Amino acid sequence: MKRVKARTQTGLLIAALIFLAIGVGVVLGAQRLIKDSEWVSHTNAVIGQLDELEAGLRDAESAQRGYLLTGDANYLADYRNARDRLPRSYERLSELMADNRQQAVRAKILQSQIELRVAQMGETLARYESGGLAAAQSMVGKEIMDVSSAIRRQKAQMVEIERVLLVERAASTHRSAATLRTIALLGVPLGLAVIGAVYWLLVMEVRRRAQAETATADANKQLHTGVARLKRNSADLRSLSRYGSMLQSCVEPAEALQLTSRMLATLLPGIGGTIYRMRNSQDHAEALAHWGEHAARGTDLVAPEDCWALRRGQAHIVEVGGLHCAHVAGSAAEAVTACIPLAAQGVQLGFIYLSDRDAGFLSRIEIVEAAAEQLSMALSNLYLQERLRMQSIREPLTGLFNRRYLEEAMARELSRCARRQLPLSLLILDLDRFKAFNDVHGHAGGDALLSAFGKLLQEMSRGEDIACRYGGEEFTLIMPETEPETATQRAEAVRDAVENMRVRHLGAELPKVTVSIGVAAFPGDGDAPEELLRAADEALYRAKRNGRNRVERAERTIRA
């Protein structure tokens, strides 16, 4: 007995020392791995900042060229904005390179070169303001090209140095990971072998005592159960990790819902499930994804007050005979149900509904709640991205698309119609005497008129038409697959509707206004966006010259 006890104590001590050594090795290796990863992230940040600095300079150069070629003040404003962002980029780059003296010196050189290029652009603009385009063009020469080339070379050299550092740091990260893996592969089996030997000694001793056999069997059974549970939990965590990673790649809410339904169908086989998503009006949740067969079917539309999970903001789990939600139909009394809410930042997004005739799935409800939390954040992010996208292409006053979207849509629709040999028409609309109207009724009155006109233009547009605010009181309407004759008829309808439009502002009705419209068509008036815009613009100004409140077609279209 004493001999077995001594061997047991020795074995346990050895195992403890082995696992202590493993723990120390893992901690040290993890610290090294974290440090290496931080350096890799730092190098990527430096490269990204260099790219951002170069992009800022290119934005300034592009805006300057746009202003010199068109005289459009918007380009000048874009140039100044891009130029004013450069100092912040210098400062961030200097902070990132403070740890590398040689790179910091190169950053100073790059900064001086960019400042010289900005000074050259400023001088060019000054000459343009004083002497026009010809004077500005006289500035273009070898000196500017040399400075631009020097900037590119300096930036490329710095990026190359950082990439070399990135390779070295990535290699160090791999070495640290390999060290951790080696410690685990060698240390854990050795420790387990020692523990196994100790366990064998204990079992041999226990076998000598009949009364301990039952206890040993029970202990083994519990051990196996725990291992199985750990394996299942580990598999669940891996599935949840993969699911979270894939959620980040979803681009639409429907895609995220389908991904979630497939994942839960795999984790909870044989369980019926439905994912409900709240409508934008927040008055109902709609069933959008299903899997399995429900023990108690739910309705397709659910009012928030009909679901306890939505009302309480927490999971509502009901076993047989409990208080089920009002949306649970069928034989609810014989079913076990669970409603898990989907919410993010205080906003209800929907809920996940599960049902089965057995309560076994409730043991895994925590992973469903974790998936619901990840889905909620993903849906919230997707909704936010969609709102930001719409804000970036919509003009807030009128609700129409902005000029940037017009340029993209024109090129896209022209290409599509040309590929399919279909016509395309373009209207340019200009509110007559708007400046005088603005002077009399103020900017608020003018805004009310523009807003009303934008709403009217949207109402009179087809689903495939693209209505945009071109600038000021000018608007455009892209009409894919529309002949010029039909477009002219539509333009007359819009002109007539504007003439009869009534706009109220501050409790009073504003005076009537009229609109002049120019019509151009593809392919008759051109096959490029700028050609169609120019043709429609010329037709618009002909309508202005001929008395306003008119629709004029491009001359090439008329001759055709």
Look-up of token digits 């994942």: 263
Angle between helices 2-70 and 73-96 (to 10 degrees): 150
In the prediction, which pLDDT does 446 show?
A: 92
In the prediction, which pLDDT does 228 show?
A: 62
Q: For domain 247-391, give the fold.
A: Beta-Lactamase (3.30.450)
Spatial separation of the C-alpha atoms in residues 475 and 427, rounded to whole Å: 8
Q: What is the DSSP string of 248-292?
A: TT--SHHHHHHHHHHHHHHHSTT-EEEEEEE-TTSS-EEEEEEES
The closest alpha carbon to 551, from 485, 495, 500, 480, belongs to 495
Domain ranges in the chain are 2-189, 247-391, 403-559
Where the chain has pLDDT below 50, the residues are none
Tens digit of pLDDT for each residue in 116-154? Answer: 888 888 888 878 888 777 766 766 667 787 787 888 888
Q: Tokens for 382? A: 């997707």
Residues 6+ apart with CB under 8 A from 66: 72, 75, 78
Q: Tokens for 85? A: 């962002």
Tens digit of pLDDT for each residue in 171-198? Answer: 877 887 787 788 767 777 876 776 777 6
In the prediction, which pLDDT does 25 show?
A: 67
Residues 6+ apart with CB under 8 A from 458: 399, 400, 467
Q: Tokens for 150? A: 């020097």
Rg (CA), the chain: 35
Backbone φ and ψ of 342, nearest 5°: -110, 115
DSSP 358: S
Q: What is this structure's pTM?
A: 0.43
In the prediction, which pLDDT does 164 show?
A: 86
Any idea of the CA torsion for 63, 64, 68, 72, to the nearest 10 degrees?
Answer: 40
Q: What angle do CA 441, 446, 449 make, to 5 degrees?
A: 115
Architecture of domain 403-559: 2-Layer Sandwich (3.30)
